[in-house]
Structure 1
Amino acid sequence: MKVALLGTGLLGEAVAERLHAAGHSLSVYNRSVEKTHALRQRGIRIAPTASAAMSKAQVVLLLLADAAAIHAVLFDPCTSAEINGRMVIQMGTIGPSESRSIDAEVTRLGGRYLEAPVLGSITEAKAGTLLIMVGGMPEYYAEWTPLLQILGADVRLIGPVGKAAVMKLALNQLIATEMAAFALSFGLIREGGVDRDTFMDILRKSALYAPMFDKKLPRLAKRQYEQPNFSTRHLLKDVDLFLAAAEQARLSTDGLQGVRSLLTDTIAHGLGEVDYSALYERVDPEEGHNR
């Protein structure tokens, strides 16, 4: 299948590698061309423009940072003409109203649209084990599930466009709050001189345990946050999207507002591009750092 992929951030690059390995004909575009060098070395075609990437594709995968980036790339006057007759699958994290707006514009331009945000990151994308939530028309879902199953064995239709976006925000809110809670408990264990292994052993045997705790434990223990699977900056973006959706739903977000402040403080200290577990540095700074 001929696939255009727009956006080669951490997830986009991994998705491109997976589809290329599966034998699909891939044409990739990214606004920052330096982020495409590794894919070029793997034999993947790098297009000079988004319209060039889309010109011969049957389907367009969007793995761009946010809705603003989607509008800038996909609806550029030189690109939008290529939407006609093509399926556009949006796989990033955006708000439900943003997704519905993009759907309306794609449809107006003669294209078809699915939202398909994912749960998982680089490792899962390369292994084809992403959890993929789809929003859109059932017939579109049925037609494009075989392609999405290359990236994830669990591909679920959540409902019309916007519903999968809601599901994704609900899950990413848990990423932020669980990480903040684990960092706080871990900090108290360290400061209180309690054995870390004993703490983790009891936690694993309890109903409180989440696998993410073990995944992030080495980063917190070594205070090493390089080579992120998901950056602090992108998690803050998703928290803001959740807050906007929750406000419309008239939900209380007082607890999440505290987590948001923690994320903004982490970014202000130069940790926006590293792994989001770096928020631990603001929960429990090393000796000699300002608390």
Structure 2
Amino acid sequence: MTSPHASVALIGTGLLGEAIGLRLLQQGITLHVWNRTPLRCRSLLDAGAQHVEDLASVPQTSDVIITVLRDGPTTARSVAALGDLAHHCLIPMGTMGIVEIRQLAEQTKQQGGQLLESPVLGSRPQAFAGTLLLMAGGEPSLFERHQPLLRHLSERPQLVGPVGSGAACKLGLNQLIASLTHAFSLSLRLIQQADVPVETFMDILRPSALYAPTFDKKLERMLDSHYDNPNFSTALLRKDLLLFLEEATAAELNPEGLSGLATLLCKAEGSALDGVDYCALHELTGSENSQ
């Protein structure tokens, strides 16, 4: 089934952006793409997307513009370069802070456009399958108008509240990614130090209320120290955890229990661990990194 949005512009064709773009093309959407590094558009162009040479001409191609960029400041700069956004809807899908997305909504309004934040949980496999978990923030009428497009990417897009609500949900979920992975890594190392067979431990864990599917998803990678071909990198996990800590502090919460994890992840900065799968934080929980 095709969407009433016959043409969509996509800004940002990294790991997730590329997968989102390929999914939209598969669903019959005419796609115009831009990336700071044009070579990263190659697979989408080969699949039928049209290349946009510069950001200023993006609004001329489509009334809906999806951004999948690294962070809030990068997104804000890219949106500023778009110029006049009258009669356009901006749909940011990357992870941003609550303050950042609200500022971007105001910026978009000043440029004449509307914004529907739509961060997603999931990575390339879920994007290809159209099963991303999408948490939208914005006006209900805007959400309803763009549901046909969002349903190409998510089986059940949810409007969670006004702008900022989606960012809060996404940061909360990504904090759990970091915390669960860290907790599992420590438990795994402890039982191995005590010579408990890993499968014995997993047989006890799996039927318990403590089990999370991500444990089995990452178990083999951790045991084999195999972190290549990431869908979500250590660097991005660190970025999102630090952003969560900023927002939690601003909300006058007490996130000090996460400070140690943030410090641990900062040890990976600039190292080979940064570009690989985020469960590589398992390499940081061993005794040689505990000083």
Using structure 1 for the length normalisation, give the TM-score.
Answer: 0.95
Q: Distance in 1 between matches of 2:270 and 2:67?
A: 29
How far did 1:290 drift? 9.3
**Which residues of 2 match residues 77-226 of structure 1 at below 5 A?**
79-81=82-84, 83-226=85-228
How far did 1:268 drift? 4.5
Residue 235 in 1 paired to residue 237 in 2? yes
Q: Percent identity?
A: 42
How far did 1:55 drift? 1.4
Q: Distance in 2 between matches of 1:51 and 1:217?
A: 45
**Which residues of 2 match residues 8-27 of structure 1 at below 5 A?**
8-27=13-32
Cα deviation, 1:241-275, whole Å, max 9, x if unaligned, reads 11111001111111111110111112354311111
How far did 1:20 drift? 0.4
Kept after mapping to 2: 8 A contact 1:216/1:277: yes
Matched residues, number: 286
Cα deviation, 1:144-189, whole Å, max 9, x if unaligned, reads 1111011011211111101111111111110110010001111112
Kept after mapping to 2: 8 A contact 1:266/1:278: no
11-20 or 41-50, larger mean C-alpha shift:
41-50
247-256 or 12-21, larger mean C-alpha shift:
247-256
SS of corresponding position for 1:187:
helix
Residue 35 in 1 paired to residue 37 in 2? no
Task: Name the amino acid aligned to 1:80.
Answer: G
- Equivalent in the alignment of 2:68: 63
Task: Name the amino acid aligned to 2:265.
Answer: L
Kept after mapping to 1: 8 A contact 2:23/2:130: yes
43-52 or 227-236, larger mean C-alpha shift:
43-52
Kept after mapping to 1: 8 A contact 2:79/2:108: no
Kept after mapping to 2: 8 A contact 1:128/1:151: yes
Using structure 2 for the length normalisation, give the TM-score.
Answer: 0.95
How far did 1:42 drift? 1.9
Task: Name the amino acid aligned to 1:66.
Answer: D
SS of corresponding position for 1:4:
strand
Question: Cα distance 1:185–1:268, how it changes in 2: closer, same or farther (>3 A)?
Answer: farther
171-180 or 188-197, larger mean C-alpha shift:
188-197
Kept after mapping to 1: 8 A contact 2:11/2:66: yes
- Equivalent in the alignment of 2:55: 50
Kept after mapping to 2: 8 A contact 1:27/1:54: no
Task: Name the amino acid aligned to 2:94.
Answer: G
Q: Distance in 1 between matches of 2:158 and 2:268?
A: 34
- Equivalent in the alignment of 2:3: none
Q: Distance in 2 between matches of 1:220 and 1:45?
A: 40
Q: Distance in 1 between matches of 2:273 and 2:36?
A: 23
Q: Distance in 2 between matches of 1:85 and 1:132?
A: 24
- Runs (5+) with no aligned partner, structure 2: 1-5
- Runs (5+) with no aligned partner, structure 1: none
Q: Distance in 2 between matches of 1:85 and 1:235?
A: 35
How far did 1:114 drift? 0.5
Task: Name the amino acid aligned to 1:71.
Answer: A
Task: Name the amino acid aligned to 1:219.
Answer: R
Task: Name the amino acid aligned to 1:202.
Answer: I
Task: Name the amino acid aligned to 2:162.
Answer: P
Cα deviation, 1:68-120, whole Å, max 9, x if unaligned, reads 111221102xx212x22101001111011111111011111111110010111
Q: Distance in 2 between matches of 1:54 and 1:230?
A: 29
Task: Name the amino acid aligned to 1:233.
Answer: A
How far did 1:285 drift? 6.5
SS of corresponding position for 1:174:
helix
CA RMSD of aligned residues (A): 1.5
Kept after mapping to 1: 8 A contact 2:71/2:96: yes
Kept after mapping to 1: 8 A contact 2:67/2:92: yes
